[in-house]
Structure formats: C-alpha cells, structure tokens
Amino acid sequence: MTGALLLRADASPAVGAGHLARAIALADAWRRRGGTAHIAVGPDAGAVTALAEARGIPVVAIDAAVGSADDAAATAARAMALRAGACVIDGYRFDADYCDAIRRAGLGVAVIDDFGRGDRPADVTIDPNYGATGADLAGPRYALLRGEFFAHVGGPRRARGRRGRRRPLRVLIAFGGSDPTRSAARVLRLLPPAPAVIATVLVGPGYADDGELDAAAACATASGHVVELARAPRDVAWLMATADAAICAAGTVLWELAYFGVPTAAFVIAGNQHEVAAALARDRYVLGGTWLLDAPAGDVAAAIAALTGNAAVRRRLARRFSELVDGRGADRVADALAKLVAARTEAAA
C-alpha cells in the first residue's frame, strides 16, 4: 500500500492555478499506485480549487497566511492527522524555514523548485523545466501531467495532420486558471487578420470577468475570426489535443501542449517563466519566448503570424516539441516519493 500523501500548493486568482495543476497531476499518479492524496491550499485559493474537487481529490483549507510559520505548523499537523508519509510543497511563498519546519515535524518533504536554486531543505527536489540540472528529478522527463491527458493521445494528433487545407485553423489561447494579467485579451487583439482562425480561449475557474475579454473577442470577430470562450471546460485535454496551434503562457500548460505535439507560441507573464521560455525559443521548440505585456505589439504579432500563417513552421514545431514530454513524468515522481516513504517507514521501524 502506498499510503497517504499531502500536497501543499499555492493557488489563488492572483497566483494562478499552475501549482495546483501539478499537485493534481501528482495526486492522480499517487492514486494510480493505490494511495490516497489530499491537496492543501491557503485561505485565498478561491474558485480555483474546483479543478481538484471536480475529480474527487479532497481539498484541505489551511487558515493561515500563506508561507507563514502558522501555515507550516497547520500543514504539518494536517499531514500527521492523515498519516501522510510525505508532504509535497509547490509554491514560491514557501521558503526554507517553511520546509524545514515540516521536516522537523517528522515528515518526508519533496519540493518542486522551478528556479533550480536548491535553497530549501528537502528529501527530494523536482524541477520539471527545460534545461533544469540541479534537482534530484530534473527536466521535462518529470513534467507533471494530469490523468485525463492520456485518454486523448494518438488519435487527435493523427487527425490534426489529416485536416483539409480549407478548414480554418483551430488555435487554443491559454493563460492559466485566472489570467491575472489579462493576456488572452491582448492576444485576441493582436491576431493577424489573415488567415482567419477559430480561436478557443481557455477561461479558467479563477478568472474574474471584467468585460475586457468579451471586448477583445468582439474585436477579433470584427477582423474575421471565430472566437469561442471555453469557460472552465470539463475536458481541457481534449481542447489541447484537437488544437492545430496554441498561444500560451510559458508555465505548466507548455508541457501539456508538448505531450500532444501542438505547435506553440509561448510568452512570459511571470518572472519564473522567463528563463524556460527563452531557452525553448532559442532551441526552436516554440515561437515567442518574450514577455507578452512588455514586448512591442509588433513583435508579439509577428510571432503569432509566423505560427498561424505558415504550415511548414507548425510541422517543424510539432515534431520538435513532442520530443520533450512522454507523459510519464508524474508516475516517475510518484515512484521516487514511494521510495522515500518506504525508506522512512523502514528507518522508523
């Protein structure tokens, strides 16, 4: 029996749902091994927790300032109450003192470290980003994909190659569970007038509707595009699997799109994304790679036009991008965590 696992994820409309999505993926993998998994979130998580609740993963609320000593104590206490063998920590507000407090409570600790600094005490460190080297489990080989992605591989990818030339290009626009920077609206306004595309905007459960997205959609529609707003869709994986191209943030969604081989223009919307996005663009896995909001509009529009207007470019990107992710990353991480739990259990016996 694998036992229980607690995953502490920083998630909120302001922070986004990327850390939570990875926690869900790892919870899926842990449950496939026969274990139980709970996800702990802070008091500001809001509606983004629906992503976990919809799939039956218990969500625990930690009523303390995120990353504080009280948060660490409450998280450790909850893990002990669940008899969890380990706690996985994913978020930038959880510092070395936080991780150390949970270790001192007697729990195994795994830290997801996007920056590769190794400055937080942990039994296992995970950095699933392209170019990562310093973590115990490093690189897209350990990309954490949720279970529903495995149902769609193969058929949709083959269907993408069979589409007739006259069919409008289907472009997925994805900027996280809450899109706090309103990046999707900017992309809609920068779509080139030709070719006309079907633009599907992924609107996550944490998105606070202020009318800006609807206005941008109207602008794109006036330019000849078809715009679909997919609000908290039940099957995000299907939207990705059936997309001909994608424009997205350089976060967790990148590895999901890579799994399906979707040619992608990726842009930076947060500081932790810059190094990965620049490296992927430099090595010709994606287009873009620059800050979305700070870059000149002409530069962003040019990257989008290169993606939507050139089938040869899309074919090259699809081949390259799909090489990065095989979909087994969450199972590999779960295997490592199971070994950690087993070793600690044996040592305590």
Beta bridge partners of 138: 127
Angle 26-242-157 from CA coordinates, rounded to 5°: 85
262 and 332 together in one domain: no
Measured CA to CA, the distance from residue 116 to residue 132 in angstroms comes to 7
Contact 102, 76 (CB under 8 A): yes
Q: What is the pLDDT of residue 151?
A: 77
**48 three-state secondary structure:** helix
Dihedral of the CA atoms 198, 201, 202, 204 (nearest 10)?
A: -160
Q: What confidence tens digit (pLDDT) does each residue in 323-344 have?
A: 999 999 999 999 999 999 998 8
Residue 153 and residue 139 in one domain:
no
Please report the pLDDT score of residue 347 as a whole number: 78
Is there a single domain that holds both residue 158 and residue 41?
no
Mean pLDDT of 201-220: 92
Same domain, 249 and 304: yes
CB-count exposure of residue 64 (10 Å: 0-12, 13-18, 19+): middle
One domain for residues 226 and 125: no
- Say yes or no: 107 and 139 in one domain: yes
CATH of the domain at 194: 3.40.50.2000
Residues 173, 54 share a domain: no
Which residues are CB-neighbours of 348 under 8 A, at least 6 positions away? none
Asked if residue 218 lies in contact with residue 152, where contact means CB atoms within 8 angstroms, the answer is no
- Report the pLDDT value the prediction gives residue 275, as an integer from 0 to 100: 94
State whether the Cα torsion 319-185-269-40 is positive or negative: negative
Q: What confidence tier does 47 reach under pLDDT thresholds 50, 70, 90?
A: confident
For residue 175, the model assigns a pLDDT of 95
Backbone angles phi, psi at 109, to 5 degrees: -125, 130
Report d(CA 84, CA 5) in Å as an integer. Answer: 5
Same domain membership, residue 93 and residue 155: no
Q: What pLDDT band is residue 208 in, cutting at 50, 70 and 90?
A: confident
Q: Residue 153's pLDDT band (boundaries 50, 70, 90)?
A: low
Q: How far apart are CA 140 and CA 261, in angstroms?
A: 14
Residue 114 belongs to domain spanning: 4-145+327-348
Query: 126-145: string of b/e by CB count within 10 Å (b at 16+)?
Result: bbbbbbbeebbbbbbebbbb
Residue 183 pLDDT exceeds 60: yes
Domain match, 112 and 170 both: no
Residue owning tokens 């191209």? 245
Does the pLDDT value for residue 93 go beyond 50? Answer: yes
**Predicted confidence band of residue 162 (pLDDT cuts 50, 70, 90):** very low
| 139 and 251 part of one domain | no
How, if at all, do strands 59-61 and 84-90 pair?
A: unpaired
89 and 155 in a common domain: no
CB-neighbour burial class of residue 269 (10 A; exposed 0-12, middle 13-18, buried 19+): buried
More confident residue, 51 or 70: 70
- β-sheet bridge partners, residue 229: 201
Of 30, 11, 6, 7, the closest CA to residue 252 belongs to 11
* Distance from the Cα of residue 34 to its chain's centroid: 24
Q: Is 317 a residue whose pLDDT tops 80?
A: yes
pLDDT digits (tens, 9 = 90+) for 114-131: 887 888 999 999 999 999
Alpha carbons 126 and 139: distance in angstroms, whole number: 9
Specify whether the CB–CB gap between 50 and 74 falls below 8 A: no
Backbone angles phi, psi at 167, to 5 degrees: -75, 135
- Mean pLDDT estimate for the chain: 92
The whole-number average pLDDT for the span 148-162 is 59
* 177 and 124 share one domain: no
**What is the domain count for the chain?**
2
The pair phi, psi for residue 263, each rounded to 5°, is -60, 130
Identify the CATH number of the domain in which residue 89 sits: 3.40.50.11190
pLDDT at residue number 161: 47
